[in-house]
Structure 1
Amino acid sequence: MRYEVSTVIDAPVELIWRLTADIEDWPAFLPTMQRVTRLDAGELRVGSTARVKQPGQFGAVWTVTRLDPAREFTWETRRPGLRLTGRHLLEPAGAGTRMTLVLDVTGRAAGVASALLGGMMRASLRRESEGFARRATTTV
C-alpha cells in the first residue's frame, strides 16, 4: 500500500532540506516523533541508521537507502511481515517548495496492516507535512 501527501511550503528548498536532513531535531516539531537517535556519526548518507520512537509504536531502526541532497531522502525499516519505506521528496514550487511525503508498506502483512492502520498512516503523513510547514515559517 502507498500513502502520499504533498504540500507547497512557503520556504526555499534549501531550508526544507536542512529541516529534512536534521532527523534528530524532528521530535522538536513533528508530533509523530518522540525520539530520533542517530546510530552513526557525520552527515546523513546512504547507509546511515537511526532508532526512531513514535507514539504508540515500538522503536525501530531506519536505514537511509537513497539520498539526493535537496531532492530526496528515503529510508526503510522492517517489522515482522512488513517493510516500511518513507520518502521525502522536494522540488521548487515558485518561491517555495513542494514537499511530498510517501510511505510504502509492503510484505505479506501489508494488507492487514493497511486495513488496521491505514487511517493512522495517512493522518501521520498530514501531521508531518504540517509540522515541516510550521517549522519552516519559524526558522530564519
Structure 2
Amino acid sequence: MRREIAIDVDTCPDHVWAVLTDVTRWPAWTSAVRDATLVGGGTLALHGVVRLRAPRLPERTWRVGEFQARRRRFTLQGDGLGGRASVRFALTTPAGDGARTRVLVTHERAGWIGSAMARITARTVDGHLQTLAADLKEHCETRRRAGVPPVVTGSAG
C-alpha cells in the first residue's frame, strides 16, 4: 500500500529541511506526533534510530535508511514480523522558485502483516500524514512571517 502527500510551503528549502530533520521537536509543532526520540541523541543521520509515538497508534521504532542532505531527502524505515513500512520525505523547489518548497511525503507498507495492518490503520495513518504536512507548512510559514531566521544544518549527505 502506498500513499503520497505533496504540499507547497512558502519559505526556502533550507528552512523547511532544518525543521523537518529536527525530529525530536516534531511534537512541538504537530499534533500528529506525541513523542519523538532520536536514540543515542545527536542529529538525524543515515542509520540513526528514531522512536515515534502518534495518537491512536503504537510506538514505532524507525531506522534512517536514506539521508541525503544535499538532495534534501530522508527515509524512515521500520521492519517487523511479517511486514515493513517506510516514510520518505523529499524536498524540491517548484519551478526554480528558491523562496518556496514542495514537500513530498511517501508512506509505503508491504508484507503479509504490513498489508493487513495498512488496511486496518489506513484512515489513522492518512490523517496523521495530512496533519503532519499541514502543520509543517503552518509552522514554517509562521516562523518566516515572524522573521525567525532558518536554522541551516551542517550535515552533508
Could you tell me the TM-score, scaled by structure 1's length? Answer: 0.92
Q: Mark the CA change 1:57 to 1:119 in structure 2 (over 3 Å): closer, same or farther.
A: closer
Would you tell me which structure has more strand in proportion to its own residues? 1
Cα separation, 1, equivalents of 2:48 and 2:67: 10
5+ residue gaps, structure 2, are 149-157
Cα separation, 1, equivalents of 2:117 and 2:124: 11
Tell me the CA shift for residue 80 of structure 1: 3.2
Instruction: Tell me if 1:102 matches 2:87.
Output: no
Q: How many residues align?
A: 140
Cα separation, 2, equivalents of 1:29 and 1:43: 18
Rg larger for: 2
Tell me the CA shift for residue 115 of structure 1: 2.1
Tell me the CA shift for residue 100 of structure 1: 0.5
Q: Which amino acid aligns with 1:98?
A: R
Cα separation, 2, equivalents of 1:121 and 1:43: 25
Cα separation, 2, equivalents of 1:118 and 1:60: 16
Cα separation, 1, equivalents of 2:92 and 2:45: 20
CA contact (8 A) 1:3 1:121 kept: no
Cα separation, 2, equivalents of 1:15 and 1:75: 20
Q: Could you report, residue by residue, the CA deviation over 1:10-69 in whole angstroms, capped at 9, with x for unpaired residues?
A: 010000000111000000111110100111232321111121111122212111011111
Could you tell me the TM-score, scaled by structure 2's length? Answer: 0.83
Match of 1:45 in 2: 45
Alignment of 1:1-140 (within 5 A): 1-69=1-69, 71-93=72-94, 94=97, 95-139=99-143, 140=148
5+ residue gaps, structure 1, are none
